[in-house]
Structure 1
Amino acid sequence: MTRPENGPVPGGAGTPAAGGRRRGAPRTYDFRRPTKLSREHVRVLQIAQEAFARQATTVLTTLLRTGARMELLSIEQQSYDDYVASLPNPYFLTTFTLEPLNGKGLLAYPLDIAMATVDHMLGGSGSSDQPDRPMTAMEVTITGQLLSRLLEEFAAAFAHITELQPVRDGLEYNPALAQAAAGSDTVMVASFELSVGDRDGQATLVLPFSSFATSLNNATSPHLSEAAQRKRQRAAELVATRLELVPVDVSIRFSPLEVSSSDLLSLAVGDVLLLRHPRDSPLEVTTNDVTFAYAIASNHRRRLAAAIVPTPYAAKDSA
């Protein structure tokens, strides 16, 4: 289904950050995957990704000693399967951890640009035809220096959202084998225009939405004054106090009894059901079918009562 676009809307087709679609152009919206990224989320991510692009440009220019540029194009919400399906094979992909957050990130760009960066770092021009193959151990080591610097800049750019300590996890050349997330997981895909020397291509930085959801919500929340914070804390205390006064139905029961359907349907007045509850076993104290204590039958002021007793050892072992 399509709808006219009225400004950038995240989720499915992306949010233009530089250039972008012509106003009014139709865009695809998948109702099976509702938008999770709000406009506020996208704005916070855009600030971080643009900062990363600027610093990455500096790192590339310094280490490769050639003209380089990295510029943010868009931020999209996709399923990981859809993202992987959009990449050619072979491609250069590196995964990295997001400590202390769960999940993994992924940085990807064309394999010929990855090979050209190695050529530049070894003093070459990078303009000759580059091999279309996996990197050798030496090329991986050389590329690792560049990737480590880029991940440092990534962590610095995202510092205002959450503290990160990214660590390279592995390299892959077949997108289908780069297991950075489950296929149905929602990921945030930042696309960049990447230029190294006379080579141009598109780089993507992929982050799991679930890992960043809380941090993004916190980053987009308005900063409250001290008076507003005290008012919110007082309201939370009042709610907690009132919750303690909410009446709760509590039952005292024997151990549950199992009978067959035929026996249940044939019950008649005068029939006896054997409870099979041991005489020395305490009764269960329950609420909403949850047992939270044990008791024995007693009386109080000529009324039937139950006296709470310690939890039986058998119940402790099975809990």
Structure 2
Amino acid sequence: MTTPETGPAPAAAPAPAAAPPAPAGHSLRSRRGEPRTYDFRRPTKLSREHVRVMQIAQEAFARQATTILTTFLRAGARLELDGIEQFSYDDYIGTLPNPSFISTFSMEPLVGKGLLAFPLDIAMAMVDHMLGGSGVANQPNRPMTAMETTITNHLLERLLGEFATSLSSVTEIQPVLIGREYNPQLAQAAAGSDTVMVASFAMAVGSREGEATVVLPFSSFAQALNNAASPQLSESARLKRQRAREALIERLNLVPVDVSVRFAPLTVSSSDLLSLAVDDVLLLRHARDSPLEVTTNDVTFAYAIASNHRRRLAASIVPTPHAPHAAKDSA
């Protein structure tokens, strides 16, 4: 259709083609992220219970570290836990850029070393802030000088102190700074094949953002994690279990037990047993001066001689043949 004012009417836009169906499993993979390598020679040691315990501790550390960074730097700072994963130490080192700001620390009384790493430009910006700067200028990409190292050490010692406090529910440690590296390949905090726990944090100082990681050797924390992951009994539950144990021990002494007094067992052939008839005599071969066996559940626990007590048959306990000096107890 045409009109004098507008001319020919535009053709209708074609309907959009239907999107091709997503391949099977595509949406699931998108939600779960990219596939990850699994080394069957190094099975997973970090269980869900271990991760839960460490997550509580590392989240507490992140909150306190945020406060310390903000106070020291007098600028906006943030540290948030992203996750906790298991790596071999070599695999972890391969994820760090070169250069990085890497600090190693001891963990007395535990063996092994821990490691704290984050981008070098953030570390330099921290120094800038602590010296009164804004931290927004381009930062030098070089190792720190002796003065810069001294300035950052004070901050790192405060962070490690809070880190020890956050782990107090798992185990007691006393972290001490022992080294500084900028090349990840030179940071020898563990053997290459050792299993380590890596806590990843989203870190921000001012307008700079990056990833910080705290690395701990799994072998040093394995027992403490197992203890922390096991359910803890409340005081009332512990007392209830103790009373039940005492009641069980008390009632155990009152359980009735069948007791027999018998001659020494006799072995006969099956033909003799089948041929027994009334008035036959079965020789017991039990010496007249030998005591009888006192048994329960076919277990001999004492010896006795035939006796009587108030016109009833009885058994008088005597020393065992192998212990002639044992005390005598009559019943």
- Give the TM-score normalised by structure 1: 0.64
Residue 181 in structure 1 maps to residue 173 in structure 2: no
Other structure's SS at 2:31 match: coil
Shift of 1:71: 0.5
Work out which of the residue numbers 99, 104, 111 in structure 1 matches 2:108. Answer: 99
Residue 209 in structure 1 maps to residue 218 in structure 2: yes
Which whole-Å CA distance do the structure 1 matches of 2:195 and 2:243 have between them? 36
Which whole-Å CA distance do the structure 2 matches of 1:185 and 1:230 have between them? 46
Shift of 1:70: 0.4
| Partner of residue 137, structure 1 | 146
Q: 1:221 to 1:91 in 2, by over 3 A?
A: same
Q: 1:92 to 1:230 in 2, by over 3 A?
A: farther
Other structure's SS at 2:54 match: helix
Residue 72 in structure 1 maps to residue 72 in structure 2: no
| Partner of residue 169, structure 2 | 160
Which whole-Å CA distance do the structure 1 matches of 2:70 and 2:203 have between them? 12
Residue 81 in structure 1 maps to residue 109 in structure 2: no
Deviations 1:235-292 (A, max 9, x none): xxxxxxxxxxxxxxxxxxxxxxxxxxxxxxxxxxxxxxxxxxxxxxxxxxxxxxxxxx
- Give the TM-score normalised by structure 2: 0.62
| Partner of residue 302, structure 1 | none
Other structure's SS at 2:63 match: helix
Q: Structure 2: which amino acid aligns with 1:192?
A: F
Which whole-Å CA distance do the structure 2 matches of 1:228 and 1:210 have between them? 33
| Partner of residue 137, structure 2 | 128
Q: Structure 2: which amino acid aligns with 1:185?
A: D
Which whole-Å CA distance do the structure 2 matches of 1:181 and 1:229 have between them? 44
Q: 1:24 to 1:108 in 2, by over 3 A?
A: closer
Other structure's SS at 2:81 match: strand
Q: Aligned Cα RMSD in Å?
A: 2.1
Q: 1:165 to 1:230 in 2, by over 3 A?
A: farther
Q: Structure 1: which amino acid aligns with 2:192?
A: G
Aligned residues: 215
Shift of 1:64: 0.1
Shift of 1:29: 2.3
Could you list the runs of 5+ residues in structure 1 that have no partner in the other structure?
Answer: 8-20, 233-319
Shift of 1:118: 0.3
Q: Percent identity?
A: 72
Other structure's SS at 1:22 match: helix
Work out which of the residue numbers 48, 53, 60 in structure 2 matches 1:44. Answer: 53
Q: Structure 2: which amino acid aligns with 1:218?
A: N
| Partner of residue 121, structure 2 | 112
Deviations 1:107-166 (A, max 9, x none): 000000000000000000000010111000000000001100100110011010001110
Shift of 1:31: 1.2
Which whole-Å CA distance do the structure 2 matches of 1:52 and 1:139 have between them? 24
Other structure's SS at 1:162 match: coil
Which whole-Å CA distance do the structure 1 matches of 2:119 and 2:188 have between them? 18
Deviations 1:275-312 (A, max 9, x none): xxxxxxxxxxxxxxxxxxxxxxxxxxxxxxxxxxxxxx
